[in-house]
Amino acid sequence: MEVKKVPQDQSSTYANNSKAVYATSESGEYSVVTSSGWEAEELVTKQALNEFERQACAAYELVKKGQKSPLYYHMYAQRMDLMVLAQSVGWFQWRVKRHMNPGVFAKLSANKLNQYSEALGISVEQLVTLPKLNLEEVKHEQ
C-alpha cells in the first residue's frame, strides 16, 4: 500500500490511538506510517468482539446449569478460546477441555488454578466463581 493510501478512518476500536503499518513511499521504499484505523478492520473487530460476548453469555448459562465449570465462562469472558487458553497454560487442549467439567474442575490443585488465573488475568477467587450478570442487559448492549 502506498503511504498516501494508508487508511485514516478514526476507528473507535483504536481508542484514539494509532497503529504502525508498512507502506511504500513514492521512491518504492518501505516505511512505517501511522494509521488511525480502517473502516473494514473496525467492522471485523466489532464482529469478533460481539461473537466473544455471545459465547460468554452461552457459557454463562451452561455454568449456571452445572453443565460446565466456571473456567468455561472465564475463557470466553477473557476473549480466549480452547486453543489460546491451552497454549497460555502450556497444556494439551484435551486436558483443558477436561477441566471444563465441573467435577474435574472442583478437584484441581491450587497450582493448576494459579496457572489458569495467571493465564486469564484474574484471581483464583474470581476463577472458581461465576460473577453475577444480568444477561438481558449484556444482550441489549450488543
Distance of CA 41 to the CA centre of its chain: 17
State the Cα–Cα distance between residues 22 and 30, nearest whole angstrom. Answer: 6
Q: Could you tell me the pTM of the whole model?
A: 0.75
140, pLDDT greater than 50: no
Which cell numbers in the block locate residue 101? Answer: 467439567
- Enumerate domains of the chain plus CATH numbers: 3-37 (no CATH), 42-141 (1.10.260)
Express as a percent the part of the chain with pLDDT over 70.
Answer: 90
- In sequence order, which ranges of 14-107 are alpha helices (DSSP H)? 39-64, 70-77, 82-89, 93-98, 102-106
State the Cα–Cα distance between residues 17 and 35, nearest whole angstrom. Answer: 9
139, pLDDT greater than 90: no
